Structure 1
Amino acid sequence: MKKWSIRIIGTIAALLALLIFAFMIWAQFDYDATPQAESYVETEAPRLVTFGKETSEIGFIFYQGAKVDAVAYSYYGEQLAKDGHFVAIPKLPFRIALLDANKGLAIIEDYPEVKQWYLIGHSLGGSAASTIVGQNPKIKGIIFLASYPIDSIDAPSLTIYGGRDGVLPVADIEKSKQDLRKNAVFHEIEQGNHANFGMYGRQKGDNNSPLTPKEQQDEALDEIKQFISTP
């Protein structure tokens, strides 16, 4: 069997496995945004939360974690908008990013004045975002928060993960390096966990962290800002 057909079969199998996992999560629980997260919201529509100016040079599209309210990631939007960037957080079907992974491509078309885009995804959202990273030349890179790609990608990437993550083992992050460029950037937040990449409270199966969500996200934002400023 040719290598390309093996890769296609492998990708389909990985997608099916992730969809099954996503459904299992969906059937069990939802994670709503905390009041703190809601306080950072700038502009909210039925299907999208946005921050900053639509004429910004750089834009970010943020894919939510499985069953997590999109508003739970508003702090990233508020902070990146302060730096002059545009941020769009789509509200994806049933809060499962894989059910509409192409939404990011539509957002790029809807905001043509933004010249460069970066994808950000938390947990399953990062895996979903990885499926479109090579589908539009305006996409310059991808940022994984406690996440990894479904299949090999050829794009600049930054992976940020927590040393206390009880949902996504650090060993899985290490394994994902084989699917990324050799110069892919990795950053461990030693005291970070899984849920602190958003603002939605405790997550089932996760470990406790001495950090607040804001503290963990501030460290993540520092890495994101450095990543996009590196040629």
Structure 2
Amino acid sequence: MAAEPEPLAAVRADDRIAITDDGAGIVLAPAGSAGTDTALVFIPGAKVDPWAYAAILSGLVTDDGMTVVITKPWLNLAFFDLRPLSGFTDLAPEVGAWMVGGHSLGGVKACQLASDARALVLFASYCANDLSASETPMLSLSGSEDGLSTPQKIADARHRLPADGVMVEIPGASDASFGDYGPQSGDGTPTATDAEVEAVVVAEVRDLAAHLP
């Protein structure tokens, strides 16, 4: 599922964002400034072009000074990627506080790496492993119209997350609303705009980062 050209072109043209394309991942960093000490490793959904997430995550860079590393999973499937979190955080060694997150099946992989991060962010996803006893701060962003990681699936897996984890359902968002790669088979029909979804994503991740221990 290829990245849509227009949102990606806008990110590439934004002189506030310094882009480094590495074999392990894509680094989006604040241009011309040191930025914050908090950053996000983001794991794409299955078979989704990593560049498809550049636009929705770009606000974290331009508005909040965060560095974002979008991983390039082996075979485009995060489950087959055995690299530790450090394989991606090493791409921005100046950053000290790392969050890990992922979209859909990428989020399932992020759950497995959460013990090595300062926080976990799920984008239309849920954990297969039990993190209910973890003290790692957690944020779950989901969509009311998601036909894949449905609201029911999110609810059924809630017991695997910490009790104080923050659950945010975005009205009108579908699974594909969390990236720019077009409609996805089996997904619901979104009624929220890309800008509306991005605004919630940026605001909620910003709030999580501001309260890291």
TM-score band w.r.t. shorter chain: 0.7 to 0.9
2:99 equivalent to 1:129: no
Distance 1:71 1:129 in 2: 18
Percentage of matched positions with identical amino acids: 27
**What's 1:62 paired with?**
42
**Cα shift readout 1:9-57 (whole Å, capped 9, x = no counterpart):** xxxxxxxxxxxxxxxxxxxxxx100012322143323442111157741
49-58 vs 88-97, greater mean Cα deviation: 49-58
Conserved? CA contact 2:57–2:202, under 8 Å: no
> What is the Cα deviation at residue 123 of structure 1?
0.1
Q: Distance in 2 between matches of 1:116 and 1:203?
A: 33
1:4-15 correspondence to structure 2 within 5 Å: none
Question: Does residue 81 in structure 1 map to residue 58 in structure 2?
Answer: no
| 1:212 aligned partner | 193
Which one of the candidate residues 96, 114, 121 is aligned to 1:143? 121
RMSD: 1.8
Letter in 1 for 2:167: F
Gaps of 5+ in 1: 1-30
Single out whichever of 77-86 and 197-206 deviates more from structure 2: 77-86
TM (norm. structure 1) is 0.80
How much has 1:86 moved relative to structure 2? 0.9
> Could you tell me which amino acid in structure 2 is paired with residue 34 of structure 1?
E
Q: Which has the higher contact order (CA 8 A, sep 6+)?
A: 2
Q: Which amino acid is the alignment partner of residue 48 of structure 1?
A: G
Report the counterpart of residue 16 of structure 2 in structure 1.
none
1:182 to 163, 188, 195: 163
Q: Distance in 1 between matches of 2:193 and 2:6?
A: 12
How many correspondences in the alignment? 198
Q: After TM superposition, give the deviation of residue 215 of structure 1 in Å.
A: 2.3
Q: Which one of 133, 142, 152 corresponds to residue 130 of structure 2?
A: 152
Can you give the 5+ residue segments of structure 2 that lack an aligned partner in the other structure? 13-18
* Number of the residue aligned with 2:28: 51
| TM-score, structure 2 normalization | 0.86
Aligned equivalent of 1:226 = 207
TM-fit CA distance, 1:105: 2.3
Name 1:98's counterpart in structure 2.
79
Task: Give the stretch that moved more between structures: 146-155 or 43-52.
Answer: 43-52
